[in-house]
Structures are given as structure tokens and as C-alpha cells.
Structure 1
């Protein structure tokens, strides 16, 4: 029997029987391995590892394909046939990453419950409602002939490996633990992975919901908390029409929603330096995309040569053919997130009598109703009813704790009790056509043309060619908002708040060979204040500020740039946010009468003398981050009943309060907290000292940032003992934070580093020596593989490896495999 979800109270517990089953299986496997002995146990775990040498016949090939794996397990695939090249790329990628690929498509499509039970129901409900899987076919209709051949061949290669592995009993261990065989890979799965990557760089809906709740709690005063707030945009022109108390969102449900929202600062650094300022006389390009720290990595290193056509090397996302980031013989390129707002929430007014009917302008429109059937391992299937208005799917039932509310989510008595979500990533794009065009581009003009049609995600592309040109292009589908600024939900019934199409390609930010002699992006604002469109507020200035400072200083000194220098910049741990805030906050603490304790005074003196470099040995970095976290936590605990997550709002509030102590922000805080800014700063500082002492003792000079701020790279099954000991890698002490170019964001409760540059890349376009890169923690997703975590030590130390475009098949550490067509 099927149970309804979405219109009736029914919320599955987060941890259920499937994980108990997995634990039993995992424990059973462990006992089995102990009984059979170390040698046999090693064979059992590693029998899925690919055979990297010799010859193998593959059905479906037209010609012989050569695969040479280098010392890091990166496969150079060489073929004279386009379909053969991508068929083998799919096959080889699946050898290393099949489980990851299947988990990604399941997560994005809302199908995890099929294999892990109702532990994943919240996630599946969210992604079924978000609905990116419903738009993959639109993307495939835009494929040109060669791109279609590429995607179909890649899918066939993945499927060939999958079938072979399960028929021979050599499937990756995770499938044995979970007890299932994945479906064949399809072109639609590749499109879905691209959509999901776009989602991970979106997620503004979370901030809109939180901002809306601030409005509920504070009313007009909430304007003081929003960065770059335009007072006439929302207060009081929209919300005077609406009773904001009529749309309650409980903190617990919001916390569940945030578990599926992307991190606020999925970011990156990249830059291109003109050859006029480099030692070689050719441009230098550097890139280090910042995403979640997982094992295996979100990136996969690849080296593709289509003889007589192109030879490109870099990384892709498992599930996506080609080279997404890297270089060919003529260009090098990298990306950061544009950090623009591609999502808007719309308030929806439901018809008082007709179900699934919503007001628009002076009339009513019937919404589309889609039934999504969620298969749940060990239980009856569930039906998630997705209601889609002109603005997008209704999402508000996912923000609400249905177990505590007997009323329907959309009630005639609460006409504004629904929110829908519009996301520009649902638009069909030509990203897969572009992958081939980028590999074939020979100069920046052709590369620019290759970017046309990229919809999702919105990225800042920096690139350079061997002719000496450097260029920037912000590319993505950015909405034109007639009104509203993306900070808060807007009326879905008002035509004046509908999107008016998208910003045209010609109007997107771009530049070639700027007079400054360099281009740099680090999730800072890509346009100036004169730009005619509202594109977002989630811009983060600190890494960009430090990178600009380093580049300008070196140019002023007349010192030429090298790859070594760019490599060092990627691991710079100077925190300009702390440099801006600490003097103001120290002064605020000292403005309050009363003595500090000896420990507190010593800690304050350390901060006053700090150079703002967050090395692993820095005691000041530990103290600063505890203070910053205490400040944000205390600031919002009196306002809302949930953990407020917008670091941008926290930053803005500290900045405005500290720099304008006599202004509106100061008065707002004093009224809210019944104490002035100095007292507030002092109290939170004392708490930070207490927290640091609790963590590392009473000698502040012995405090160490890296002892608390450490990276453990985790596997999807690491939550199940004893698999965490088998799969996880770490801990490793690392410096920096989300505010430094060497970006290592962390969990504020545990200190665990969970976000940063999984791949780092530097190329000198002279190509006199190979470009350099590194992948954290390694190329293979196969546990106990020699390439599972063989790059992590060098990554922690800040090193890079040469990118061997042409691997010597006779080299000592090279492995050569020849794939042959059937006779």
C-alpha cells in the first residue's frame, strides 16, 4: 500500500532500519575478513581494483585504444576515433568511481531511499520536489551530432564496466555492503550530474528563508542586518500587504532543509597573469575550486588525446565526459563560482476553495501536479505530491514540521502559506556541446564562443592562450528581475515581480587583456555598482582582497611571476577579514571599564600583535575564530529559534556595528541586547577565551590552530562503524580558513575542515615545463588502491605534481593497457 507524503502528516525518522542492516553486514564482513586471514581479506577488498596492464577486448570499439596510467593513476587515453575515446573514458572512470557516480545520480534524482531506506527520505523528498531530474531530457535535445556521440559512447563505456564487474563478482565493495546493483548509465544521468553541480553552486533559497524569518521576528528592523540593503525594495512596499506571522517555519524543519542546501561559500580562486609580467613571457593561469572535502574527490583527473584533433588534460566530474578544467595545446582555463543569485522564492496565494489553484494578477491559475513515487528499501513506496506553479515547485511544506501541525501545509485559512522556487538551472543549456568546443579551442576568441550556451552553474571563467592573451568571462543563465533583489521572497501573484527573461550573453561581464595585466576572481563581486542588473549579494571579498594585494605588490616590485609563485599564493593563509575586524573589536573590549583576568589580558595582547597569518601553529587564529563564532552565535540566539547560517549577515553586522558605533546599527543592537557594542564585544571575547582554554588549556601561547582545525576526508559510508576506519582518511592539521586564499572552511562546533580546494592547478602557457596539479586525496575511489589517498600528504604540504600530458609508456611507474575491438 502507498502512503501519501506532502499533503498529510508523515515524516520519516532520519535513522532507520537500513543503517542497522548495513551495520550488521559491515560487522559480518569484518568478522569474515578476520577469520579468513589478512591475505585473503586483502584480496576480498581489492578484487574490484582495475587491471591496469595488458590487453582487453571491449565490445563496441571501432579501433584500438591505448590507456597509459601514470604514477598517480591518471589515465592518458589515446584514440583516433571520437566515440572510442569517450567509450573508454567512461569505462576507465567507472573502474575508479562507479559507486560515487551512482550515489551522485541517486542523490540528485531523489532515489537514495531505494538503497539506504527511510534514512534518506528527507533528502529524497527535497530533490524530488526540487525536480532537476525532470529537465535533463530538455538538455539532451540541444546536443549537436558529435556531442551526442560523445555522451552516448561515455554512457556505454560506464555500463560496459558495470555489467562486467557484476557478472564477474568484482564490483566495488560498497555495492556488496549495501546489497544492490546499480542501473545502467544513460546520457540523462550525465545531464543530471551537470544539473546537480549547478545546484551545489546555488542554494540562495536557504538564505531567503532565514531572512524571511528575521523579518517575522524583527519587522522593519531586519533591514539593519542585510548587506548592501536597499531600503525601498522590500520595506514596507511588499510586506505591508502580507501578515508575515501567517507563515511559520519551525527551526527543526529548517535545519533539515539546510542539511541539503549547498554550503554558503562554495567558491574558488583563479587568476591569469599576462606574459608581460611573467618570467617566461607567456601567461600563467592558476585555479583551485573550493567544494566539499569528500572521498573520493568531486573531481577526476583525465588526459584525453583524439589523434589529429585535440589533446586536453585536467579534471572532469565523474559522470561527465571530456575535460572540464585544465589545458590543451593552446589554452589553459579555470573557474570560480560567480556567487550570483540564480534562485528566487515566491510567495503563493492559494485559492480558498479550489485545490492546487493559485492567484496570478487578477485571476487564478491551476498548478501542475506531479506524483513522484519514492521506493523505500524494506518499506512500502511513498507518493510525494509535487505542485508546480508558474514560478516553480511549491517548497514550503519541506520547511515545515508536519508532525507538529495537523493542518494541511496549504490552508484556505492561511493564504500565504506556500512558497515556490524558481531556479534558472532548470533552463536547458549546451554545456555538453561546450565541453568539446573548449578542448578544440585554439585562442581566447574560440574559447569565448565555446562558452556560449553554458547555463548552469554560473561560473567565472579565467583563461589564456599561447598567443599571449588573457581573458575573463562570467557565464551562466542570470535572471532579469523587474523588482526585488533576491534577499527575500516576493509575491508570486504580482506580474511586476516575475522574471523578465535572462541577461543576454553580450551583457554578461567579460574582459580581454585588461590594462592591469592580470585577471583574478575569488567569489568577489564580478561587476561594479553601475551594472544595470541585480545579480546577487553573496559576494565574499576577503580572498580576492588578499590575492590582489599579493599580485599588486609583486608587480610594483617589478618581480616576474612564475608557477612557483602562483603555487605559493594558493596556500597563502593571511586573513584580511581578521585584519579588518580584530583592531576594531580589541578597541571595543578595551573601551569597557573593568579589568580582564590575567589569561584574558594575555590573549587580548596576543591578538593585538597578531600578523593575521593562520598557520597550524597560530594560537591567535584559534582564539579569533572562537571569538567570531561566539559573536555570531550570541548575536542571533535572541532573535530566532534556529541556528542562523548566513556568514555574510554576521559579517555585515559586526562590520557595521564596529565602524559606525554611533549610528543606526549601534542603536539597534543596544536596544535588542540591552548592552552597548563594547560590552557585547567584551562578553563574547571572554567566552572565546573560555572556549579556547577548554579546548587546549590555560597557556594561550601553546594554543594551536591546527590541533582543532584538522581535515578528515570522509566517505559516504563513514557514518557506519567499522567502515569509517576502512574508508576515511585523516586527520591532517591544516592552516587557513574560509577567509584566506588557502581556503579551508570548517565546522564551527568540531573544527573539522570540510570544504576547500580539492584540486589545485597552475600552468605556464610557454609549456616549457609541464603544468602542475594535485587532487585531494587521490584519483581512485577504490579503497586500499595505491591511488586512493596517495596525493593527500603532498596536498597538505602545498605541493603540486607535473601534469604528464604524454606519459612515457616505458616509464618505471607507468601502466599500459590496450583495449581492442572484437574481431
Structure 2
């Protein structure tokens, strides 16, 4: 069953007059006289598109123009995920409490207030006329196609059908939602901090448990791997790409796959976030690209010293400034269906909204404000549409220079000619040298507010001085951002990559240095996952990822990204086994633990995180017994410290056992054994029997790991989605928050989401992929469950891009659309 798709595998939607003629011809036969032409033929529809669904529900949309392409894409998307987008638009409007009630711990009230403060619909409405004509055409078509589906009887089968908030959307609604996506690593992290910001003495408090003041950035949950290989590292001498975003499998940050063709103007395939027209990660005949989340700063926070007795006035360059006050009233649905009103006044400095963070709230002496690099980003769709239409790497790069709409990601790209390019062109505050020096001095004190907030990737500046304002320079997308010409970027012929560390080692042979620390740190330890990615890309040996010739075939590329090799195991496993066998007992939780079986399991383990791997779970729990910082430098685990001159091979070497006393490694291993036992697991349990995703009541065994494991293929658990529709996958009591171990094992709902391996050939692009969780969030749909098992078995599916491959697909179904 695949609900919400057209009931016939082939359906032709015609204008009523033409449909009547066709039926008459069928009923009377070919010998009947032909009817007279309609003296008043209906006008040509504004939008005309054909949707062909191939296997796994991928829509291939062919259209006469961009508006029609948007129409077809909006319609196809609504078939799969209309409810999710409608819920998100309700969120961005700040109307969840109006339709859904206050929510647990007033969660809906808090998010509504925060989004009303950000005021994204007003910003979208004001900027709509400034959008390029082709972007308005694409968005308007998308909205029309989406709304067309909502008007059909098929929409009555949507999971959200009948809800009062299920209604047509507007261009402003959709554009405002795109603004919200641009704030994922800035304003969206601060929703709780915005909602909770109230002056002292007002008695107004609002801090629901489910909306922390500061949402932490966890790149194991919204991170990625991206590889672009050039002529020197590919078997064919042409470009290759690995796209491997690690995003949630539930909620609004899922990805959706499609193919858009406007003959002679556009032919692009890939994925995008839900509700975004076009393609965000993908390829055309000339360029293939992917993205990874950048850990650079997307906003700066500011301290504001307050005027005594006036908590809404602050000092700036020795003068008093008054904050701007804005009363906001929400309607909140009560349990009996009636509506009540809640009013609060929110304040802004000239930097932006006032925020309240843990430990630095709003006192009589001090408060905080923040400035957002993406709040005024009007160019998201313009950016990606330009990338999708690029006919060369030079045109692709020019979009970055001219538009500057990348919000929070690194970019890796490759071409048929075998040129590869990396850039961290994400919106980044441009700070003066004096500002950076003052901030660095403060951060050097580990007890300072600046140092504490930096651990959460927040840059805290002095809001009382013009010295710390963002510096305006020509060439920036918006005033105060670093111009593209000064962003980290690198073009080569071998490879570039990123795994959510900074720009520094996009290619280890040519480090990128001398850039603002707001982009990210240089010369600092890399994560175990980055080290594993680099190992796969740089090793040249017979048993290496690319073989003895050092040139990848497409199959070798697929095998490499899903090899599930562990960098920590390759560095330490042999020495750990030797130490374990020398000291086969350890102490943990007041118990003496026999480690004989654990030693044997690790000795037999191949260091991989496959579904049949025995020892992977034990190694994971052993590594998590150390702090994450211990995996990055010398300390209790490594003997040889990190060296900037050898960043991919250091730290290394297991720290020796103390000359006297108990072996701390044995005690850590004993703790790992007991942790697994607490979950009802033996040290010999294969990974796939304890690591799985749920599809209904069915468990699907999964391979992969987290950053602590040092594997490329990430999987984990994420409960941070901001949706009112999809309940988070349940799991038992958490026994280890660093690994996600619960009484139910390792329950997975996040990680490798879209995975694509691509090569350019003499006949065009050839690619294979997974969309692990499928095209639809509806559990009743086949598209909800039909790819996860293939991913579990590493059975890649081919991507149909060429016309002959689309036409030959045995699952092909066609829908022809017309509308206005």
C-alpha cells in the first residue's frame, strides 16, 4: 500500500472538455465523425508538469518552465510529506498554541513567542519583491502544486487530514519557513533563550523542560561526511563524489529525493530539506556537490551593562540606549477548546533580541543580546538554484561569489573533468582584529563566561562598545559578514573532504591557514571520525580503500564509505588486547570482573562496526569510559600527544600501564562489561542484535557508530526535532548518554540519511544511493520502510538520471499535471 499516490499507475489529468472528447471517442469507436472544434478552447494552463515515479518513490519531474517544475515538485512532495511542512509553517507563524494548546510544559507557548520575536513572516513578505524573478517563479509554482494536492480527495487520507490548520499555504509562508531553516545553527539554537528573556521584577517566567535555553550543536546528529575526488584519485580520471549527510530520521530535518528537468534550462537530481524547492545536495551533467555542517559561528552573543534602576536601558560607547519593546499576544487553546490570551513584552537591543542563557540571565546589572548572521538571509533558494544550473565549476563558484546564500555548511564539489573544490562559504561574522584579540584573551581564562560559552560554540563579545560590532566590507552578502573572497576555499585535482571539523585540513597536503577563528580553529586535534575519513582517502596499499593504485572505482568508493572501520580500534585495539590478556581482571562498581571473555572477543574482532561484528559494542563502551577529550590528545588513553605537523597520525600509542597499582585500562574495560550486562547484553552479542531502528514493531539491524567509535557511517539517537506530529521513537532507560546505550540496546533514529556515491563517465553521471528512512514519514506508506533493509544489507540502489534509465524502470508510474 502506498497511500496518497494516484490510484492508477498511469494517470492523465486533462481539462474537462478534452476529457469528455476522449471518453466519447472510446465509447463510440474510431469510425464516428470527429466532433467540431471547441469554439472557445480553454486557456492554456499556467503550469504543466509530468511526474514519473521510479522505484522507491523518486519523482522525476519534467516541466515546460521553472514555475511548472516547482508545481510538479510541490505536488509530489505533498503526496509524501504534506503534514510535516504544514506543521512547520504553523510553528514559524507562531500559532501552534492557537491550534494545539500550550503543549507539555508550555512548549508550544515558548516556541510561539520565540518565533514571533524573530518575526520571519514579516521579513519574508518584505523581501518577496526583491527575490529574483526565476526564484519567485519556482516558489510560486511549488506553492500552487502543493495547494493543488491539498484540494484533491487524495488529501483526505493524509495523517493530519481534518485538522483546522491544514489549509493552503502562501509564498510568504514558504519563504518564511526557508528563513527558519537558515537559522538552524543560530536563532533556532536560541529559541528557549529568546522565550525566557524577561526583565527582572516582571514575575514572568517561561522555561519549559523540553526547550533548553541553548540547544547544543552535536555534529554526530546533524553532521556529515563529504568527499570530492578528482582526476588524480579516480580510476577513470573523472570526478567522483560521496554525499553522506547525517541528519535525523524523524521530524522536519529529514531529506527528500527528486529530479527536476526543464529542457535546455535545468536538469538536476538530489535531495533537499522538506519543503525546499529544488535540490540542496546533488548533481547535474556538469557539477556534483555535497555539504557538511560547519561548526563556525553563525551568531555572536553580546553582554550589555544595564543602567542602574532601568533594566531595559544599557550603556553603549558611554551613552545610554533604550531597548525596543514589543508586546506580543498569543492565543492559546484550552482543554475545552476555548481560546485564552497570553501577552508578554519582549525586548531588543540594536544588536538583536535579548536572550537569557543558563548562568547569564537578565539581572539588574547585566543582560545578553545576540546578532544573527542568517536572520536576513534572503538568498537561500537563489543560491541553490544557481548551483543547480551551473554548467561548469567556474559558474558554480561564481554563484557563491555573487549570491552568498549558504547558511551553515561547507561545500565540496567535483566535475567530469576531474577538478575538485572546497569552500566554507557559510555566513560568518566579520570581526575586527581588536575584537578577536580581546575575545581570545578572555577565552584563555577557562572560568570566564567567554570560555564557558565557547564550549557550546557561542562567541560572547562586549555589547557596550562599537569595537565589537561586525566589520562591514565590500563583497559580503549582508553587511558585517566575511566576504566570500576571504572565506576558506581550495581547488585541487586529487581530493577535498570534510567531516564537520574546521576548514583546516580540507586536503592534508595543503592546509588552509590564516583565516578568522570564527570560521573554526586551525592546528587543533581532529575528531576520530575526521581521522578515519582522511585515512580512507589517503592510504595507498593493496588492502587499502582505493587499492594499490590509489585510484577509486565506484565500487571501491561505496565500500569505503560503508567500511565501518574504526579509527580508534586501528590505533589501539592490538595494544588493548595485549594489556587485557596480561591483566584479565578489573574492578568497577565495587566488583571484581573477570575479563577473559572480553579479551578473547576483542582479540577476534576485526575492528569494524558491521551488523555481524562481535566486539564492536564492547569497544564502544570501553572508549566511552574515557572523556571525549581523551580521544583528541595525550592523557589517560594516548601516550603520544597531538601534533599539528602530524594531525592525522596523532595522538597515538596506548598509554602504558602504571608501574604499580591496578591497571586503569582493565578497570575501564570492566566498567564496559558491566554496562553491557546492565542492558542485558553479553560481550559476545553481535552489533546488529543490539543496534537497530524500528519500523512499527519490526527491528531492522543496523551497522555504523558514533564519533566515539571513529567510523564514517554515523548512527545514533536524536530527540531534538521540533515537530508536533511525529512522536520520537521510544527507547528504554538510558544507561550511557555518550553512546546511547539503553535497556533496549542502541535504538537508532538518526545518522546516515542520504548516502550517494557518484562518478562521472563518458556517458554522463552514474550514481548509487540510499535514502535510509525513505521518502515518506507516513508509517502506512511503503515509502516509509522500503529502503532501510537495503541499507542494513548494504544493497545500494542505482539512481535513474538518464532518460533511458527512467523509462526502463519497472516501477514507473506517470502523472500529468496542469494548473494555475
Do the structures match in fold with TM over 0.5?
Answer: yes
Distance 2:794 2:118 in 1: 37
Residue 106 and residue 572 in structure 1: after superposition, are their counterparts in 2 closer, same or farther (change >3 A)? farther
Distance 1:495 1:253, change over 3 A: farther
Q: Deviation digits for residues 514-548 of structure 1, max 9, x if unmatched?
A: 4xx11111112213573231125588532232222
Q: Tell me the residue number matched to 1:757.
A: 752
Between stretches 346-355 and 789-798, larger displacement belongs to 346-355
> In the alignment, which of 508, 528, 551 is matched to residue 487 of structure 2?
508
CA shift at 1:444, angstroms? 0.3
Q: 1:758 Cα deviation (Å)?
A: 1.0
Residue equivalent to 2:321: 365
Match of 2:11 in 1: 54
Which residue of 676, 681, 686 corresponds with 1:704? 686
CA–CA separation in structure 2 for the residues paired with 1:183 and 1:400: 42
**Matched-pair contact (CA < 8 Å) for 2:567–2:711:** yes
Question: What is the deviation of 1:815?
Answer: 0.8
In structure 2, the CA distance between the partners of 1:590 and 1:781, relative to structure 1 (3 Å rule), is closer
TM-score of the aligned structures, taking structure 2 as reference length: 0.74
8 Å contact 1:591–1:678 — kept in the other structure?
no
* Map of 1:531 onto structure 2: 514
Give secondary structure in 2 for the equivalent of 1:422: strand
Counterpart for residue 468 of structure 1 = 418
Matching of residue 732 in structure 1 with residue 684 in structure 2 = no
Offset at 1:588? 9.7
State how 1:325-474 maps to structure 2 within 5 Å.
Answer: 325-378=281-334, 379-396=339-356, 399=358, 410-412=362-364, 415-416=365-366, 418-452=367-401, 453-474=403-424
Partner of residue 672, structure 2: 688
Q: How many angstroms apart in 2 are the aligned matches of 1:285 and 1:303?
A: 18
Match of 1:718 in 2: none
Q: Against the structure 1 CA distance between its residues 524 and 556, is the aligned structure 2 distance closer, same or farther, given a 3 Å change threshold?
A: farther
Question: Which residue of structure 2 lines up, in the alignment, with residue 627 of structure 1?
Answer: 622
How many angstroms apart in 2 are the aligned matches of 1:280 and 1:180? 56
Q: Tell me: CA distance 1:492–1:590, structure 2 relative to 1, closer, same or farther (3 Å).
A: farther
1:795 to 763, 781, 791: 791
1:674-723 per-position Cα deviation (integer Å, ceiling 9, x unaligned): xx9988766554332211122245x53x233333322236xxxxxxxxxx
TM-score (norm 1): 0.74
3-state SS of 1:499 partner: coil
Aligned residue number for residue 12 of structure 1: none
Q: Report what 2:729 is aligned to.
A: none
TM-fit CA distance, 1:277: 3.2
Deviation of 1:260 (Å): 5.3
Structure 1: distance between partners of 2:414 and 2:290? 10
Distance in 1 separating the partners of 2:704 and 2:390: 38
The residue aligned with 1:575 is: 566
The Cα of 1:478 is off from its aligned counterpart by: 0.8
Structure 1 distance, partners of 2:214, 2:693, is: 20
Q: Which residue of 1 aligns with 2:445?
A: none
The unaligned stretches of length 5 or more in structure 1 are 1-41, 210-249, 402-408, 633-646, 664-675, 714-724
Contact 1:622 1:705 in 2 (8 A): yes
Residue from 539, 542, 545 that aligns with 2:528: 542
Aligned Cα RMSD in Å? Answer: 3.9
Contact 1:67 1:76 in 2 (8 A): yes
Structure with the larger RCO, 1 or 2 (CA within 8 Å, 6+ apart): 1
Higher alpha-carbon deviation: 299-308 or 448-457: 448-457
What displacement does 1:98 show? 0.5
- In structure 2, the CA distance between the partners of 1:476 and 1:490, relative to structure 1 (3 Å rule), is same
Residue 714 of structure 2 is matched in structure 1 by: 743
Contact 2:99–2:165 under 8 Å retained in 1:
no
Query: SS of 1:200's equivalent?
Result: coil
Q: Is the 8 A contact 1:588 1:677 kept in 2?
A: no
Count of matched residue pairs: 679
Check the 8 A contact 2:271/2:282 in 1, yes or no.
yes
Partner residue of 1:158?
146
Matched, 1:198 2:182: yes
Q: Aligned pair in 2 of structure 1 residues 461, 603: CA closer, same or farther (>3 Å)?
A: same
How big is the shift at 1:660? 7.0
Residues 69-106 of structure 1, C-alpha deviations (whole Å, 9 max, x = no match): 11222111112222222122212211221101122333
Shift of 1:814: 0.9
**What is the deviation of 1:468?**
3.0
1:321, distance to aligned residue in structure 2 (A): 1.0
Aligned: 1:114 with 2:91: no
Q: 2:368 aligns to what SS in structure 1? A: strand
Output the CA distance in 2 between the equivalents of 1:584 and 1:386: 58
2:503 match: secondary structure: coil
Q: Secondary structure at the match of 2:282?
A: strand
**Closer, same or farther: CA 498–578 of 1 in aligned 2, 3 Å:** farther
Work out the CA distance in 2 between the residues paired with 1:498 and 1:431: 25
For the residue of structure 2 that corresponds to 1:193, the secondary structure is helix
8 A Cα contact 1:67 1:816, kept in partner: yes
Name the SS of the counterpart of 1:129 in structure 2: helix
Contact 2:224 2:293 (8 Å CA) reproduced: yes
Structure 1 pair 354–776 and aligned structure 2 pair: CA distance change class (3 A): same
In structure 2, distance between residues paired with 1:579 and 1:565: 20
What's the counterpart of residue 133 of structure 2?
A: 145
Contact kept, 8 Å, 2:182 with 2:375, in 1: the verdict is no
**Deviations along 1:342-374, whole A, 9 cap, x unmatched?**
133323323322242122231222122233333
- Aligned-pair CA distance for 1:802: 1.7
Name the structure 1 match of 2:30: none
